Amino acid sequence: MPGKAYDRVYFDRWYRNPRTRHDLRAARERKVAFALAAAELLLERPVRSVLDVGCGEAAWQPILERMRPKMRYAGVDSSPYAVARFGERRNLRLSTFGRLGELGHDGPYDLVVCSDMLHYVPTVEVEPGLRALAGLVGGVAFIEVFTSADSIIGDMREIKLRSPAFYDRRLRAVGLVHCGLYCFAPEDLAANLTAFELGGLDSRPRRSPRPARR
């Protein structure tokens, strides 16, 4: 079978279906508002820069621009269609997740977004991609990922339903600490959070030298 194509037909099917378009737009608005609020709570100032990894058509960009007009936005996606169509207008670059570290981004970013895409990334790309992503986080990383423990519907083609432990180990290994819902922070910033901001006593960082559519 031919490989999965993230072309216009794909985005029309999953993001512009008249029956679900309104619900998707409303959910996206809530998600953007939450990610911004989480980053600004941690940073104690407005978000000034966002990197959107696996951004697709960069549907977050117009919402972010409306909410924070002076914010700097950059997007990365593996879809030649999305980058050709929106690259110049929304500042997108073409790359796979595994090669994120080769782009030479002008980081760190106050908010790094990786929304509903990591479970489609080939396993061999997960670790190098997460290392590069972690190095670009200056505030909060919003990493929305579905696992084998979740009951999901939607685009199941080429999805990789890995265990929660698979992601937990790799996120900890690159120094990202879970601080609620899909939010992660670098260890130095997470060290300033309280135990229950991090989910309880067992979640404190150790100091050391629903639908899937993508």
Per-residue pLDDT tens over the stretch 118-133? 999 999 999 999 999 9
pLDDT at 2 over 70: no
How far out from the chain centre does Cα 203 lie? 21
E strand spans, the chain:
49-53, 72-77, 92-94, 109-115, 137-144, 176-178, 183-186
Nearest Cα neighbor of 48 from 115, 140, 129, 130 is 140
Query: pTM value?
Result: 0.91
* Domains parsed from the chain with CATH numbers: 8-203 (3.40.50.150)
- pLDDT tens per residue, range 64-108: 999 999 999 999 999 999 999 999 999 999 999 999 999 998 889
The answer to whether residue 214 scores a pLDDT higher than 80 is no
Summarised one tens digit per residue, pLDDT across range 204-213 is 544 443 455 4
> What's the full length of the chain, in residues?
214
Calculate the average pLDDT of the chain.
91
DSSP category for residue 118: G
